[in-house]
Amino acid sequence: MKKMLDWTWGDVNNGDVGPGAFSWFHLLWIGIMILACIVIGLVVARKHSSKADRIVVSIFSVILIGCEVFKQLFWFAFYDYYRFEIFPFQFCSVPIYVAIFASVIPWDKIREACYRFLAFYGIIGGLAVMLVPNAVLYTYFVPMSLHAMLWHSVLVVMGIYLIISRGYGKKLREIFTPAVIFVCFVALAIIGNVLVYNLYLNTPACQPGDRLSMFYISPYYPTELPLLGMVQEISYPLFVLCYLLFFNGFALIVWGVTHLIRKLGKKEGKNS
């Protein structure tokens, strides 16, 4: 792992950083993601079966587990101690838990709710970073840039697979249960932020510079989310409410686009 720390985009001491947004590296990964979506959408997802869906999601979960283990070990080796700021419980991180749970849970209704969350919410986290990767592509380290691109590409491809395979976009109620799951995750993030801050981060035992803002909604640190930061300065409860509306709104947009594409596909099928 120590050798991986030397694989950088330039001289760290001189302040050299990664390739940045819309660089050759970023565009290459966008191309890989689009190609993967086409292949899995036209080939794999159309051979629909519950068993196949479970296997595919299991494969995606294994990839995510491997990525996350590598990331945790990498940053632990870099800092020589564990920093809470890399704790894997962000909006982009929770799909790993949902995918694992969906792979092992024996109850179809609960598994279906997990699939819908991965389809409508997981894809948001993936697309957000793949389209605006400023934070993840200005890192010094090539391995972390690769990790970020692979992780978020997987979220998008997995979402596309489930939308096609499960035939989502037919009824609005498809987004109700994943919305409940999302709200539960947000509640856990708030509770975790408060507990960790009061039990460790706000004590003399805390390492310098360490912090934790799960889902970027800690009441103790400014959020990194654009626009919502201004709301946070006004009122934290209002900020959380806007956060919920913001992401649930995007999930609704994803469902709406899926619904529109499905309707257009039916019209073309009738006309032909």
pLDDT at 272: 56
Please count the CA atoms within 13 angstroms of the CA of 83 that sit on its side-chain side: 17
Report H helices in the chain: 24-39, 50-79, 95-104, 108-117, 123-131, 142-166, 176-196, 228-234, 236-271
The confidence score (pLDDT) of residue 17 equals 78
This prediction's pTM: 0.95
- Residues paired with 8 in a beta bridge: 141
Count of domains for the chain: 1
Angle between helices 123-131 and 24-39 in degrees, nearest 10: 150
Residue 229, SS3 per DSSP:
helix
Backbone angles phi, psi at 168, to 5 degrees: -70, 160
Q: Which residue's structure tokens are 């709406």?
A: 256
Question: Token digits for 260?
Answer: 């529109």
Q: For residues 21 and 132, is the Cβ–Cβ distance under 8 A?
A: yes
User: What Rg value do the Cα atoms of the chain yield, rounded?
Assistant: 20
Structure tokens at 66: 């491997």
The predicted pLDDT at position 271 comes to 62
CB-based contacts of 218: which residues, under 8 Å, 6+ apart? 193, 197, 211, 212
The answer to whether 156 and 126 are in contact (CB under 8 A) is yes
Domain region containing 42: 3-271
Q: Which two tokens stand for residue 75?
A: 């940053």
Q: What is the pLDDT along the chain (272 residues), one digit of tens a residue?
A: 667 888 998 876 776 778 888 999 999 999 999 999 999 888 876 777 889 899 999 999 999 999 999 999 999 999 989 999 999 999 999 999 999 999 999 999 999 999 999 999 999 999 999 998 877 787 889 999 999 999 999 999 999 999 999 999 999 999 999 999 999 999 999 999 999 999 999 999 999 889 999 999 999 999 988 789 999 999 999 999 999 999 999 999 999 999 999 888 776 666 65
**CA–CA separation, 230 and 216 (whole Å):** 14
Structure tokens at 10: 């330039």
**Taken in order 6, 10, 16, 18, is the CA torsion positive or negative?**
negative
